[in-house]
Every structure is written in C-alpha cells, then in structure tokens.
Chains A and B, each alone.
Chain A
Amino acid sequence: MLPKELVAASLRPIMLTLLEERAMYGYQIIQRVHDLSDGQIKWTASKLYPLLHDLENKGLVEAFWQPSEAGPDRKYYRLTRVGREALAREKRSWLDLNAILVRLWGPELGLQTA
C-alpha cells in the first residue's frame, strides 16, 4: 500500500488522465485505479465523489447522465477543454518533480540523469 498522503496527492492527476481517455462513471474509476495500481491505491466513494464534484464546479470536467440497467441514471464524467489544459500543467509539474527525484536518487539507483 502506498502512503495516504501520496495517494491523496495523486488523486487529481490520475483522475484527469483517466477521464481524458474516455468518459467514465465513479465506480469505473475506482475499479480502474485499483487494477492499474495492482490494488495499491484504494479510493473510497466518499473521497472520490466530492473531488469529482469539485472538478465539475471548477469546470475541469463535465457530467452527463445515461440510463443504467437497474436503478437510477448513471452519471458519467469527461474532461473539458479547461480540464485538458489543467492536465497538461499537472503533467509538467509531476515530470518536474520526477526529474528532481531522479537527479537526487539517480546515481545510487543506477539511473541516467536527464
């Protein structure tokens, strides 16, 4: 399991990335992240939905409803243009951070610095 703080920090970039690929609903996102991380990242609904709603409020994602097999309509989320720009910035920051860490740890781990 990854530390809680790291999981919390990564929530946003991962979510934006997943939604860039295609529109998804909440349960799908959780499952996808679970699979991607080999079970290392477990998001709960109580963390996920408020963040999704926040992104929606800020206009980074947009939502639409589709009928489901049973029960109420399903709410799908997808990235907006603003969201794409935010994701690009997000990518930049994470890569910058990565570069710093590589520079720090590269020699001892036998990695090539960029």
Chain B
Amino acid sequence: MKSHFDLEKAIATWRQFHERRRMLLPQDLNELECHLRDHVAERVGAGVREEAAFEEALHAVGDVGEAEPEYKKVYWGKLQRRHAIINEFIWRGTMLRNYLTVALRNLGQRKGYTAIIVTSLGVAVTASLLILSYIQHERSFDTFHDEVEHLYRVGEAEEGDPVYFRTRPRLLPAVLEHIPGVASGTRTIEANPWVSYNNQRFEESGYYVDDTFFEVFSFPLVAGDQRTVWEPPNAVVMSETLARKYFAQDDPLGKMVIIDFQEHVVTGVMADFPAASTLQADMLLPIAPLPDRWGDSWNWGNTFMPMYLRLHGEASPDEVADQMASLLQRNIDDEEATSFLLFPMRDFHLQAAGELWTPGVSGAQKRLLVLLIIGIAILCIAAINATNLATAQALTRAREIGMRKVLGAHRGQLITQFFGEAALLSFAAMLLGSGLAWVVHPFFNEVWGTTMTLDLRQPSVLLLILGIGGVVGLLAGSYPAFYLSRLRPVASLKGRLQHSRFSVRARNGLVVAQFALSVMLIASTLVMHKQITFMKQQELHFDDEGVVVMPLAVDDFEDEAVASSRIETLKSELLRHPAIQAVSSARAFPGISRDWATDFDVEGGAEPVHSRWTSVDDAYFPLFGIDLVEGRNFDGTREAEVWRTAIINETARAAFGWETAVGKHIDWGGDEPFEVIGVVDDFHFASLEEAIYPMVHFFGGTTASNYDYLAIKLGPGDVTPALAYIEEQLDVLDPARTFDYFFADAYFNQHYEEMERQSVMLGFFAGLAILIACLGLFGLASYITTQRRKEIGIRKVLGASASDVLVLLTKNIALLVLVAFVIGAPLTFLIMERWLADFAYRMELGSGLFLLAGGMALLIALGTVGYQSLRAALADPVKTIRYE
C-alpha cells in the first residue's frame, strides 16, 4: 500500500508554523530544518518508515516552544549584529497597525456596544474627576504657606469642653518672650471697617494683625517691603483687587485713605489671597493702636481673638501648649485650668474650619468620604457595564476567536488584540470624560460654591485621568482577553459554546450590584431632600416674612450719642411710610445667631445655668410675631427698664427650674440682678439642625451700642416703593455710604443652603449612576433579545401574545431590580438613620421613601429594557424564524 505521507509537505507545514510564530530567525529555522532532514534520512536509512522517522525526528528536535527562552537569550545579541533590529521594528509596527485596524473594525461593527461603553466609562471618568478635583481642592487648603508643618492655630479649652479657636489679647507678646520653641506668631482680629477715598465709601473686610504677620504666613507682597510696611502706626496693606478698586492704575503706595474716621497710609500691596486659604481678607491693619482703643478688655481674661504660631522645627506643639498654660496661670488666677491646643494649620480647613472643635471626624471629612464612596460606586457601575457587555458578547465573539485561532493566531496575539480594543475604548472614554469634566466644572463650582480649578494640563490631573481610565478599561477588557482567548477553536467554531450557568449568574449578580448602588443613591437623595423640606416647613414660631434687615452699629458713627440719636430719628422717619409696619433694633435676629452665652445665677436655683443672651428693643417681639406666653413685653417709655429687665424663652424657664417666671430674678455677676418680666414662646432662633436653647433677652432701650442690626417689617403687596423710601432715608443718614440689606427669611434659609447643595450634588451623582447603569442595561437587553429572537418567533407561532412575550423578557429584569432593592434599601436606611441622628429636628424614616426609590429604579429599568422587548415582542415571527 502506498503511503499518503509527503515529507516535503510535512516539513513545509512545520516550517510555516514556526515562521508564523516569528520566534526564530529564518536562518535558525533553516538550520533546524537541515537537522530534521538529516535525522529523517538517517532513520529511513536504518529501515524506518518515512512518516515514523519524521515523527521521531520532530520529537528529537524537541519542542521548540521549550527552547524559545534559550533562543531568545541569544536573540538580541544576534539582532544587533545583523542589523535586523530595524526589520523587527517594521514588523512590530505592521502588527500594531494590524491590531489597531482590527480593533477599529470590531468596534465599528458594534457601534451600539462601543457607544455604550465609551459613554458610560466617559461619564464615570467625568464624575470621578470632578469628585477627585474637589477633594484635592479641599485638601490643598493653606498648604501654600512655606513650611506649613510648623504653622499652628491656637485654641483653648476647659476640661471636657470643645476647643475654642480664640484666645486672649495679652497672650501673644508673653508667648513670644518666654517660650523659646515659638519662632513667630500673629493675632488676626476680624474687622469690617469703612474705607473712604475720594468721597467714596465702602465696607471692606480685613484683619488687624501683628507686624510679624508676613513672617508667619506666606502671602507675597507685590509692592512695598514686608520689613518696613508696618513702620507707620497708621499703615494699611491692601490686596491687589482692593488697591485697583480705589486707585485704578495709580501707584497705591503712599496714598492716604480714611479708615474708620482715621487717616491711613498705604504701605504695601499684597497679592490676592488664594481661594484655598482659610484667612480671607482684602486689607491688613496694624494691631498696635487697639490696646489703647479697647482699654480694659485688652487683658488676660477675654477670649476672643484668633492667633497663629510658627514654631521652630524641633519644637513640640504639645510642649509649647503646656508652657502656654503655665504662662497663663502665672498671669491670672485661672480657676478653670484652661489648656491650650496647637492645631496644625494644614489640617485646619478640613478638620476644624469653625471656631469650635471637638475631636473626631469632622463634617467636611465625612462629606469628602461620602463623595469618594459615590465616585467609586460610579466607577464600579461603569466597569460592570463593560464587563457585562463583554460577557454577553462572548457568544458572537467566540466564532471570531475560533476562526482566528484556526488561521494561526496564538493566544498571546489574541490577548494583545483584546487589550488593544479595551485600551482604545478607555482612551476614547478618557477623552470624552475629561472634555466633559472641563465643560461642566464651572457649573459644578457654581452649585457647590467652590473655586476649584480643573487644569487638564497639570501632570497630576493627567495621571489621574490615565489611572482611572486605564484601570477601569483594563478591568473591562480582561474578561475577553483571558477567558475568550482560551476557548478551543473547534468548539467555538461549531457554535457549541453556551453561556455557562455561572457566567449568567455572575452577570445577574453584577446587574443587582449596579441597581443596589443606584437605589441607595436615589433613596439617600430623597431622604436628604425630604429632611430639608421638613425643616423648612416646621413651624418656626416667628414670622419673618417681609422683614428687611441691615447691619447698623455704633461703629458706623462718630460716637455713641450721635449714633443713638440718629438711629432713633431714622426709625421714626421710616415708620411714617404707610407700607412700613414696624422697625426694631436688636443685637441679633432669628437666623443670625451670635454665640454670646454665659452662666446665670437663677433665683431659687443652686447651680448656675448656662444660657445664651442678646439684647432687643420693645418692637422686637411684636415685629417678629413672637407670642408672649407669660408676663408682658418691654415698655419703651420706661427708661428704668433698660438693662434691668429680661424676657426669657420657655426653654430657659424650664432650664431655670421655674413654674412661673414673672417677678423672678437672674444675675450674671453685675451690679444688680435682672428682673424677668415675661416669657416668650420657644421660637427657632437658629436653624432646625440645632435644638432650642435657653435664651435671655435684655432690654437695650435706645442705646445704639446695644444693637448691631435694624429690622424693618414691610406690609404685604409690592415692596418696591417701601424699599425706595428706605434707601432715601438711609441716604439722609449717610450720603456717602451704600447700605447693605437683605430679607430675613432668605437669610434664615441660607442655613439650609449647604445641605441643599449637598443634596443637589448627591442627586446629580445619583442621576449619573443610574444613567450609566441604564446604559449598560440597555446594551444587555438588546443582546438578550437578539439572542432569543428565534425563541420568541416560535413562541408567537405557537400562540403567545405580544404581552406574553413582553412579560417573559422583562420579568427577569424586574426580579433583579427587586433583589437590588431588598439589598439596597435596608443599607440606606441604616446610613440615613445615622445621618439624621445629627439633627435636633428630624423626619421619621418611613417605608414610603424607600418604596419610591425602588419604584423609580424599577420604572427606569423597565423603561430601558421595554423598548428592546417591545420591538422583539412585536416582530414578525416569520421573519425571525427564517433568519439565520
């Protein structure tokens, strides 16, 4: 029998295989071929059949795959010697171009898939970029100061109390003199002086500072010398913006301006303070004249001014704080045993920010953490999309892979191919995402009230984009790369490949995860929104509708007597207008809470009671519609009642342990005790985040120094004429001055603005999350319906109605969303319960909100798959069955 074996053909096939692998150079292959031939010839000479000899020779040559590393080791040296390196590059380049062509073609063929992946990844990149830039912005506060690690803000605390970031006037000079670890320090007292120049007057914001200010902080001067700016006792240093406002193009140095009735000379111009600075001011004034002006209150006991210290590198802040405590003990008899805290400046913005600080995670840090979690959740949802769609596609791609393998592609090439596609997708997503982020970040700033900048050319931002896009893209590409490339070509070509039960389950699990996250985000947004509405709708027990408020204090006038008489005149003039119902002077009003509090000795009580206090005039309670529940209002005609009488709120009455309050006395250690003449209803002096605290109102009479604000109640209807009249009267009061006024109700609601911003942000990201999840679902649904097209056709032929088919196709999704709801809702409940626990007045968490969130998720999901399902359900069965 003649053998079918053809040695030449067999050797040619063997050669071709190796040529395609490109692991061996042609000459090495020649050498191996000779070897093979010699071996066969020898064995045939010994009487072995050609085919068997060939098998034996192949075996003897050994698996070249095994020798590849050996060959590789000597390969590069050879390449260099033979100048073949250029050829190699050309070949690699060609291959790269081929990968790219194939990838583009593949993606182009699946436009829907490509669009979904790119959009969802892109949107996720946008979201995370915005979030990360915001976090970076928040973390960058005050870090522009040189050696910021040695910079501290001083706080004081009595045992068990929160730390108060204010301290005493006389402390700093003593600290600088006696504590060697302190390199420098400055006090910064807020000031809002009136500045006039060329008959213009504006209220500006600034600080009184020590002449060491520029040693402590790194705010550069653009004009003037920081060593000499404080030499004139009446110096002022302005920001660039302020200098331009007053002097336009003129040289500001040496210009004289009037600040609070005193002449000041501009000695320096500093660059505007960066947005990411805790200190914000347009002008600096020397602190030197203040001790004289403040007299007795410039002492060791008054705790009211911010203070910053710069330590020497080796000094320990804790030791310095202890030394400060003993320094204080030496100077006053400090019964409370005050301790000091040096709080690192670079952490101040995120961890403390306010005037009071209690150890623990701050609200700002919590907010950043929540944002970070949301960002990660969104990225997860997008990555799940990519993975899910890739899995769904496995079936169609399996054939392609089988074909490629048969045509000689080995696994490494397929992996490269798939990663190439993933890289291309994530690159497109990165472009889209960063473009989108760049477009929307100003809007983001607007809503969030931030000043973050997104500079796409910054290396750290670029790295961030690459990192996010790369990691998520590669994650998404790894399933096809590692799983699909492993498929056996024969099975996949015959189409015997089925989705394994596991892969379907995994896919369902991922969809559940996506929707659980979405339900959580939606539900949290709803809860937050409802809590804000809840607080806004609460009965406040006062009426601030149509109340105009303006700051008006004794500092605005030459002296107290002038202030008192002119303000009284203004009030009576204002009341002549028919639309103005009432006018009142007060230290504060609902919504502007001033933390003035002290311990009162109360009649019949053993312990002093801590209570807040303020001073008002006799028009205050009627103007705000605050009801008296006991006693009477102040009587404006009785001068004897001024600073001798008090009206307290119900909480104070309870706190003082009284049944009835009228006629009882309280005392804060002054000349005479105060007589309580009335009790008012508990009105919400502060926002509903805070509980109502004991409150004492003293009668300030007509003395201007007892008040900081003027409140004007307007009647219903058009307020424009009344406002015009008010401006007219204010012009009479001081023609050079522009008065700043605002509506009390709007101001009160500002307390909720921060929360509203947060809820808008959360809603925004929740919307993004669900959008991305739905994009994925849409893609998935379209694959599933395509896959089941024939099944649906047969069902319809056998009598199923369109609605039966619709139910069949959507049932599964509904089930998944339901599972997602069951997981997501309780988690959200727990999280939101903790969030609500911080509010003094909070809504009850009912099931309604969660059902609403779940319903929304379900509706959105069904709406997404509905289109595909409906199309499949309505399709002509004849066409679908025939389709192959």
Contacts and interface: CB of A to CB of B under 8 A. Distances in A.
B63 interface: yes
A46 interface: yes
A75 B33 contact: no
Nearest to B27: A75
Contacts of A75: 27, 30-31, 34
Contacts, number: 70
B718 interface: no
Interface stretch (B65-73, B385-393, B529-537, B790-798): B65-73
Interface string B239-271: 000000000000000000000000000000000
A53 B67 contact: no
Interface in B58-88: 60-64, 66-67, 70-71, 73-74, 77-78, 81
Interface in B83-142: none
A57 interface: yes
Contact of B78 (A45, A46, A57, A72): A57
Chain B CB within 10 A, most for which of A28, A31, A57:
A57
Interface string A38-55: 000000111101110110
Given A27-B39, A44-B61, A57-B78, A50 B67 contact: yes
B550 to A, nearest CB: 91
A72 B74 contact: no
Contacts of B35: 26-27, 45
Contact of A45 (B11, B30, B42, B61): B61
A57 B28 CA distance: 14
A5 B73 CA distance: 20
A47 B73 CA distance: 12
Contacts of A51: 70
B32 interface: yes
A54 B64 contact: no
A71 B67 CA distance: 23
B61 A54 contact: no
A51 B31 CA distance: 14
Name the prevailing secondary structure of the A interface residues.
helix
Chain A CB within 10 A, most for which of B31, B42, B71:
B31
Contacts of A72: 30, 33-34
A85 interface: no
Contact of A49 (B39, B60, B67, B81): B67
A52 B32 CA distance: 12
Contacts of A54: 73-74
Interface in A36-87: 44-47, 49-51, 53-54, 57, 68, 70-75
Interface in A1-44: 25-28, 31, 44
Contacts of B67: 45-47, 49-50
B231 interface: no
B576 to A, nearest CB: 108
B73 A49 contact: no
A45 B62 contact: yes
Contacts of B27: 75
Contact of A57 (B32, B34, B38, B81): B81
B63 A46 contact: yes
A46 B66 contact: yes
Given A44-B61, A54-B74, A57-B81, A49 B32 contact: yes
Interface in B25-53: 27-28, 30-35, 37-39, 42
Given A44-B62, A45-B61, A25 B34 contact: yes
A70 B27 CA distance: 16
A31 B60 CA distance: 12
Contacts of A73: 30, 34
Given A45-B62, A50-B67, A50-B70, A71 B31 contact: no
Contacts of A74: 31, 34
Interface of B: 11, 27-28, 30-35, 37-39, 42, 60-64, 66-67, 70-71, 73-74, 77-78, 81
User: 5 nearest interchain CB pairs?
Assistant: A46-B67, A50-B70, A46-B62, A27-B38, A72-B30
Interface of A: 25-28, 31, 44-47, 49-51, 53-54, 57, 68, 70-75
Given A45-B35, A49-B28, A54-B73, 12 more contacts: A31-B42, A44-B62, A45-B60, A46-B62, A46-B63, A46-B66, A49-B32, A50-B67, A53-B71, A57-B78, A70-B37, A73-B30
10 contacts: A25-B34, A27-B38, A50-B73, A53-B74, A57-B77, A70-B37, A71-B11, A71-B37, A74-B31, A74-B34
